[in-house]
Structure 1
C-alpha cells in the first residue's frame, strides 16, 4: 500500500491526509536560480541619458554629462560598466548611455549600458608580433606627438610608430618638439622633411600657446610621447591641471612615468586634450601592414572611413618607394624607406619595392 492510498478502505478522502493527492498534484520547488525562462526582449536605452567618458580608474569611469545649458549644467559623474556589456571595453573618449543616478552627488553611481559606435580608435600592442591590442583612446580627432630635442634624446623610429598608429586610427598627426633651448631641433626634423607634418616647437620655459590653441581649438586631441619629454608640463600649461611632472634619470637618460591612465582635460580656450601615460615602446601588431605606408607617403594623410561610398582621404600608394629610387627625396627619403621596410619586416609583410 502506498502512502496516497485510502487507508480505511472507503471511497471518501475528506478525512485522509494523503489520499486526495497523487503524483501530478505535487508542487515542484523551483531551483535557487529559478526556472522562469528569460525573455529575449532587451531594453534599447534609446531614451537613456548620454555622456562622454573622461577617465578610467580601476573599474570606475568618470563620465561628463549635461548639455551645458542653465538648466542642465555639465558635470562629471562616476559610473560602472553594466554586466550586459560583457567583455566590450569602455575607454576614455567613448560616448555612452547611462542608467541609474546621474546627479553626480557624493556617493552616487550610474551604470554604462551602451557604447556608441566609435569614429576613431587609437590602439597599441605589446610588440609587433602580438596581435592582442590594447585600446587607448576612442573618438579623438588628432594626435599630438610630443618629443624632446634633448634630455631624453629623440627617437625617430618611435615617432614612426606613432605616425603609423595615428594614420591607422584615422587621426591627424601634429609633431611638437619641446626643450628646443637644450638642442637645435633642425637635425631631428630633417628626418621628416619629406612628410607634410604640422610642427610646433617649444622651449623649456615657454609654451607656444597661440600656435597650439590654433591647432587644438574645438578638437579632441590625444597626446603621446616618451616618458620625460615634457608632455605633462605642456598639458598642465594648456589646461590649468596640476598633474605630476616627471624628471629624466641622469644615469639611464629615461623619463619616469607620471601618468598611469588616460584622462581628458578641457583646454582653457576650447577643445579637449586626452593625456596618456608615457611609453618607451609602441607595438603595431594590430595594424594591417597594408596601412603602414601611409605614414611614409609624401603627404601625411590619415585614413578616413568612407561616407556614401566616397573615401574622405586618399593616401599615396608606395609613392615614397618610387621617389626614393628616383633620387628625388635624397638621404632623408632613403632613411624613411629603411625605417618603413624595417617596420614591414617586423610585422611579417613583404617589401613593396621588391614586388
Structure 2
C-alpha cells in the first residue's frame, strides 16, 4: 500500500480540477491530466477528491473515487438532486461584498447550511469595504454570524492586513472560497496564492458579477494549505433535505430546539416551541424560508 491508501498498481492521487471528461490530478508532487471514465465508482469526481488511478503510458485513468471526508453540495435541477461541488476541504469561506454587488445575507445562510451539513467549518469574508456602503447594516450582519461562532473578516483584497487575516484563518488547511459573482473571490485567491485567475467586471445591467471562474481548482497557498476558488453564482440552491437535516445546518436552532415541548417541532410558531427568542429573528426566518422551500 502507498501512504495515501492506494497500491503500486493503482496509486492514489488528488483531483486538482475537473474539466469535462478529464481531470488534473496531483501525484508524487507532479500534476498531470487523467481520463475520467463514465460512472466511475464513488463519483463523479470533483476538485478535492482522492482517487485511485490506473497507470497508462499516455494518460492515466481515474478508476475509483475514495470516500469523502467532507463535501460541499448544491441542489441540481428542478428536483434539487445533491451535486458535489468540492470534496475533502476543511473550511468554507463565504465571500460577500458589502457593495457592488450588494450584500445578500440569505445567500450567506444557504452556503453556511450547506457547509454545516457537509461537515465543513464556516466563515464569512466581507470584501470591498473601501467602497461606499451602509456600515451599520454591515455591522449588524457581521454581529449576527459572530454571535453563533462564525468568524467574520472584513476588508478589501488590496489590503495586506485583510489578506493576512484570511491566510491566518485558513491556517494550513484547505478552504473553499464561494459566493456571488463579482465579490472578489478570484482577487482574494490571487492575493493568497500568487496564482492568476480570471478577474471580471460587474454587470451594469443587473449589478451582479460576471462569471470569471468556471471549474473549481485546488490551489496551494505558499507556506501551507490550499484554497479552492469556485465559480461565482447568482443563486445557490440547497439540495433537498428533511427537516432534521436542515435544522442541523442551523446549530443554534438545533441547540434551542432541545427545549421544545413537542418532539419534531417545526419551529413554525407552534405552542411550546423554545426557539423564538432564543435565536436571531433573521436566522429563524431564514430557516423557515428554507423549510418551506423543501416542501
Which TM-score tier does this pair reach, normalised by the shorter chain? 0.7 to 0.9
Which whole-Å CA distance do the structure 1 matches of 2:107 and 2:252 have between them?
Answer: 19
Deviation at 1:210, TM superposition (A): 2.6
Which whole-Å CA distance do the structure 2 matches of 1:251 and 1:188 have between them?
Answer: 26
Taking a change above 3 Å as real, the CA distance of residues 158 and 75 of structure 1, as seen in their structure-2 partners, is same
Taking a change above 3 Å as real, the CA distance of residues 294 and 241 of structure 1, as seen in their structure-2 partners, is same
Taking a change above 3 Å as real, the CA distance of residues 328 and 135 of structure 1, as seen in their structure-2 partners, is closer
Moved over 6 A (4+): none
Of 247, 255, 262 in structure 2, the residue corresponding to residue 316 of structure 1 is: 255
Residue in 2 aligned with 1:78? 33
Residue in 2 aligned with 1:98? 53
Q: CA RMSD in A?
A: 2.4
Which whole-Å CA distance do the structure 2 matches of 1:193 and 1:215 have between them?
Answer: 14
1:206-231 Cα offsets, whole Å, 9 max, x none, are: 14233222221221111111000001
2:109 aligned with 1:156: no
Residue in 2 aligned with 1:54? 16
Taking a change above 3 Å as real, the CA distance of residues 110 and 344 of structure 1, as seen in their structure-2 partners, is same
Which whole-Å CA distance do the structure 2 matches of 1:111 and 1:245 have between them?
Answer: 32
Residue in 1 aligned with 2:270? none
Contact 1:217 1:269 in 2 (8 A): no
Residue in 2 aligned with 1:12? none
Residue in 1 aligned with 2:294? 347
Deviation at 1:180, TM superposition (A): 1.2
Q: How many residues align?
A: 273
Q: After the TM superposition, which residues 292-303 of structure 1 pair with which residues of structure 2 at under 5 Å, given as runs?
A: 292-298=246-252
Deviation at 1:260, TM superposition (A): 1.2
Residue in 1 aligned with 2:73? 123
Which whole-Å CA distance do the structure 2 matches of 1:90 and 1:193 have between them?
Answer: 34
Residue in 2 aligned with 1:25? none
Residue in 1 aligned with 2:263? none
1:40-60 Cα offsets, whole Å, 9 max, x none, are: xxxx97432211000011211
Contact 1:124 1:286 in 2 (8 A): no
Provide TM-score, normalisation by structure 2: 0.84
Residue in 2 aligned with 1:29? none
Taking a change above 3 Å as real, the CA distance of residues 193 and 95 of structure 1, as seen in their structure-2 partners, is closer
2:153 aligned with 1:200: yes
Contact 1:168 1:287 in 2 (8 A): no
Contact 2:163 2:188 in 1 (8 A): no
Bigger Rg, structure 1 or 2: 1
Q: After the TM superposition, which residues 1-355 of structure 1 pair with which residues of structure 2 at under 5 Å, given as runs?
A: 46-47=7-8, 48-66=10-28, 74-82=29-37, 85=40, 88-101=43-56, 108-126=58-76, 130-182=79-131, 183=133, 184=135, 185-192=138-145, 194-207=147-160, 208-298=162-252, 316=255, 318=257, 325=276, 327=277, 329=279, 333-348=280-295
Residue in 2 aligned with 1:303? none
Contact 1:131 1:285 in 2 (8 A): yes
1:142-201 Cα offsets, whole Å, 9 max, x none, are: 101000011100111111100110011010001100011222231332443542111111
1:236-295 Cα offsets, whole Å, 9 max, x none, are: 110111111121122311100001111110012210111110111111133333122234
Which whole-Å CA distance do the structure 1 matches of 2:39 and 2:239 have between them?
Answer: 29
Which whole-Å CA distance do the structure 2 matches of 1:126 and 1:162 have between them?
Answer: 15
Taking a change above 3 Å as real, the CA distance of residues 45 and 140 of structure 1, as seen in their structure-2 partners, is closer
Give the 3-state SS of the residue equivalent to 1:144 in structure 2. strand
Q: Which runs of 5+ in 2 are unaligned?
A: 260-266, 268-272
